[in-house]
Chains A and B, each alone.
Chain A
Amino acid sequence: MLQRISTYLYLRPQLVLGLLLGPPLLYMLVVYLGSLFNLLVYSFYYLEEFTGLIVREFTLRTYAQIFEPANRDIFLRTAGMATAVTIVDALIAFPLAYYIAKFASARLKTWLIIAVTIPLWSSYLVRVYAWKLILAQEGILSWFINLLRLDGVLNWLLSIEAIGGSSLALSPIGLFIVFAYIWLPYMIIPIQTALERVPGSLVEAASDLGAKPLQTFRTVILPLAFPGVVAGSIFTFSLTLGDFIVPLSLGNSKFFIGQAVYSYQGTAGNIPLAAAMTMGPVLIMIVYLLIARRLGAFDAL
């Protein structure tokens, strides 16, 4: 009867632990970590060019391929984009986060926070799609630029080799705008949280000691909010590094890491190279997670 099972288990807490922890742990270890480890192993194999087959021998040859000019370009391009996105997102996010943390009344604050997180709850893919609409040549942004008589500026921008393209929707500039848009909430929230923790009394103390508002901002508020900026920037940086959907939808032929990986493992069948290239973002994220754990982010769960 159930009672007997209950007593049996009561006297054997280790068994209960095994029963509880077993299924989820096994699942994650086998399915997830197993696949990751498998991928790592593959990154040490290499693709035989002539046969198109993967040779299962330990070698660092594939990693060396990452440093070839073509791949190096990809890394640099992606890193550059990630940096630009991070900076711009920080600039846009800060005023909003600052306002929410310091100037909004309690009621307004709740609504504003909901307003900031709503985009996160809406589908990622759909939000990317929205920009396809907006950036289209005949679309709303073009119309707006026309209205402001800025088409000349736009064409000039598009003609610049590194960041231009045939149209907004198919250029790094467009990519840049979309990335900045998509990851913005991830930057706002940590900054806002960090600013919340700056006690109002510090600001008052600073002005009491004679600092003008701008000085107070520069010397007191900004340094204290900085960890929030760092937290947010890790999101924007690593998310941009790994993304392939946005470049695929809106970019041109110049690859980013995500796209490169996607194509290498797809038609090219070059799984070792794809695996090797993903290890970069993986490493960054794991380091970040470990730091976050040390700083206690997981305890709050």
Chain B
Amino acid sequence: MPSKSSSGPKASLGLKLAALGGLLFLHVPIWIIFLYTLTPDETTFTFPLPGFTLKWFGVAMQRADLWRALTLSLQVAAVATVAALILGTLAAAAVYRSRFFGREAISFLLVLPIALPGIVSGIALRTAIGGFDIPFSFWTIVIGHATFCVVVVYNNVLARFRRMQGSQIEASMDLGANAFQTFRYVVFPNVATALLAGGMLAFALSFDEVIVTTFTAGQQTTLPIWIFSQLTRPRDRPVTNVVAMFVMLITFIPIFLAQRLSAQSSDTEGETK
């Protein structure tokens, strides 16, 4: 990959400005939310801000409905992540180990829930659940979330399997370890960080999800659903700003960590034979 050193041609000023403009366009709106968490204004989004205050953080913390929504989001994300870890790892192991009819189709099948527009998945699930007269509940939300969380774990784990030397497993068995011991001492340590990265991505994905959730929830409110309701019928503007910032951080941090994990292990991979 050719990289231009400082001795190569320089970008024109116009190009640099255009690039910078694009970058700012991407980021400024996010900063604006952070800014607005400090406004004392209760009913509007007036700019410039009439003042600065931290009281809305306190108010948000008092709100029982917010705590309920947060708890629900965390619970759903936790369970969906566990399901995704199990199903995703099983699928990755199957695809890595064996050649079977329809092997390439598995990746395709697993990516569909993420690739198709959320509304399609949402309606499909809702119609099916309603059609079978299953009550909408915590579990219907989890089932919906698991469908698109599996592929995230699957990709991470499969990529790691492929980077691992297959002969390690044979070597372990050759030296006297049965399949379970081999998994414990050789496979798992190699794959652990991929599981962690995949799990964190799945968690963030589930925590932030709103489209499929609106369709598969009954009366339950997750945090994103709460924000969504504020989007259409705003009642608590300043508190919403705080919640928005909070959700942003909770989604951002696991993904960022997962990135660093994957990047880190691919660096050390290059050193071994």
Contacts and interface: CB of A to CB of B under 8 A. Distances in A.
Contacts, number: 280
A278 to B, nearest CB: 5
A105 interface: yes
Interface stretch (B55-63, B64-72, B96-104, B190-198): B96-104
A148 interface: no
Given A184-B26, A289-B111, A103 B11 contact: yes
Contact of B44 (A102, A136, A245, A265): A136
A244 B119 contact: yes
Contacts of A24: 87-88, 90-91, 94, 110, 150, 154
Interface stretch (A61-69, A125-133, A152-160): A125-133
A2 B119 contact: no
A268 interface: no
Contacts of A301: 107, 155, 158-159
B32 A134 contact: yes
B150 A130 contact: no
A58 interface: no
Nearest to B207: A123
Interface in B218-250: 224, 227-228, 230-232, 234, 240-241, 244-245, 247-248
Interface of B is mostly: helix
B48 A118 contact: no
A39 B245 CA distance: 36
Interface of B: 1-6, 8-11, 15-16, 18-19, 21-23, 25-27, 29-30, 32-33, 36, 44-48, 86-88, 90-91, 93-94, 97-98, 100, 104, 106-113, 115-121, 123-128, 131, 143, 146-147, 150, 154-155, 158-159, 178-181, 204, 208, 210-211, 224, 227-228, 230-232, 234, 240-241, 244-245, 247-248, 251-252, 255-256, 259
Given A184-B26, A196-B1, A289-B108, 5 more contacts: A105-B3, A123-B244, A138-B44, A143-B48, A271-B127
